Structure formats: structure tokens, C-alpha cells
Structure 1
Amino acid sequence: MSKQLLHLVMGGRVKDPQGVDFVDPYSVHVVGVYPSYDEAVEAWRGQAQRTVDDAEMKYVVVHLHRLLEPDLPSA
């Protein structure tokens, strides 16, 4: 059985489109947690496309498994 690698997709309005400093962290939209990177990217792409005309909206994929177990080698 392979190791479970969880990914979080979230987004919101950012102060600078080049960064991930959210204007209001309390209003960050949590899209969901996904068991594979491919599923997370699909969810991210859907949200990012919905907000493509708003340069201050940004969605990201967070590798939760790297936060939960930082000593694991990158896959």
C-alpha cells in the first residue's frame, strides 16, 4: 500500500498577485482536501478558471503531507 499524500486546495484575495499573503485570512475559501496531486490540480484549475478575470484572487495547492511529515523525502 502506498503512502497517503494529502493536498489542500484553497484561495482568496491576495495583497500582491505574486505572493500568497491573503488580504483576509478569515475569508480564505477552502475548496477541499484531495488524496492525490492530480485531483488537487483539477480542483485548483476549476477554481482558478472561475476567477481568471480577477488578478487579486489566487488559488493554491498545499502539500499537506509535507507539513504533517516534513522529514519525508519529496516525491
Structure 2
Amino acid sequence: MEEFLRSRSISEGTITMMTKDGIDGNEISVMDVEQQIYLPRYGDCLATIAYAKQQWFLEETASFPSDRK
């Protein structure tokens, strides 16, 4: 998540504050834009929420057994 935030030019101070407050991809994936006090730019909020949900989905589907042969 931190690398994604850096790619969006989120300040190191904001990333540090989020880490200190225990805000990671799991929490972000269930937040909505109104709850995103850490990211003041609307586009960053939307992109970060979408990224967190995508990562959660990839992690969840990776644990499913594959029936394909």
C-alpha cells in the first residue's frame, strides 16, 4: 500500500500518520470517500479505495483451490 501511495505523490508525513494510526489496505477497502480524512484529494481517495479493494480481491481469490486441470 505504501508504494501505491507514494506513486500517487502522497506525502511521507501522511503515509507515516496512516501507518501510525493502523490504517492499511484492509481498513481502506471498507472506507468510503467521506471517511478518508488522510487523503484530501478526491481522486487520491477514489484510487486508494479501488486499489485496496483490488488487492483484497486478489488475496482472497488466490486462496481458492483451482479446479482446472
Give the TM-score, by structure 2 length.
0.32
Which structure features the higher share of helix residues? 2
Which structure features the higher share of strand residues? 1
Query: Which structure's relative contact order is higher, taking Cα pairs within 8 Å and 6+ residues apart?
Result: 1
